[in-house]
Amino acid sequence: MVVDGFFVAGTVVCLVSTVLCVGAAILRQPPNDVTILAVAAVELFLLVYLVAGIIRQAGGDPVAGEVWEFWGYLLTALLIPVGAFWWAILERSRWSNLVLGAVGATIFVMLFRMEQIWHGVVPA
């Protein structure tokens, strides 16, 4: 798999978000500004990734795999942090931080798959 800057940046953002949110859950804290902003950082990264994907594809860097699959993953990934945010706001328990922590791990897996689709690598 070709590793590009977007994948590395996404990995770092997702890892930091997951560590902060799971750490807050371990410390038995309810969702707070730090955990909410950590998930917001993941969403911001995904928005930048969306714009960059549009620019890359319009600039002639084609998606090697199925185009609909790549964009489906990306649009779904954009919804996951929003859903977790609402969960955390509506249920202010420490367990909501685990839901927020799952966002980073889930988005990392989806980002890994999106990079495979973009570069045409068949998953094993």
**pTM for the whole thing?**
0.89
Specify burial of residue 58 (Cβ count, 10 A radius: 0-12, 13-18, 19+).
exposed
pLDDT of residue 74: 95
Run means of pLDDT, 10 residues per run, the chain, 124 residues: 82 96 92 94 96 91 88 96 93 88 95 89 63
- The dihedral region occupied by 114, where left means phi > 0, alpha psi between -120 and 50, and beta the remainder, is alpha
- Angle (CA) 106-110-115 rounded to 5° is 150
Residue 22 corresponds to which amino acid? V
Residue 50 phi/psi, 5° resolution? -60, -50
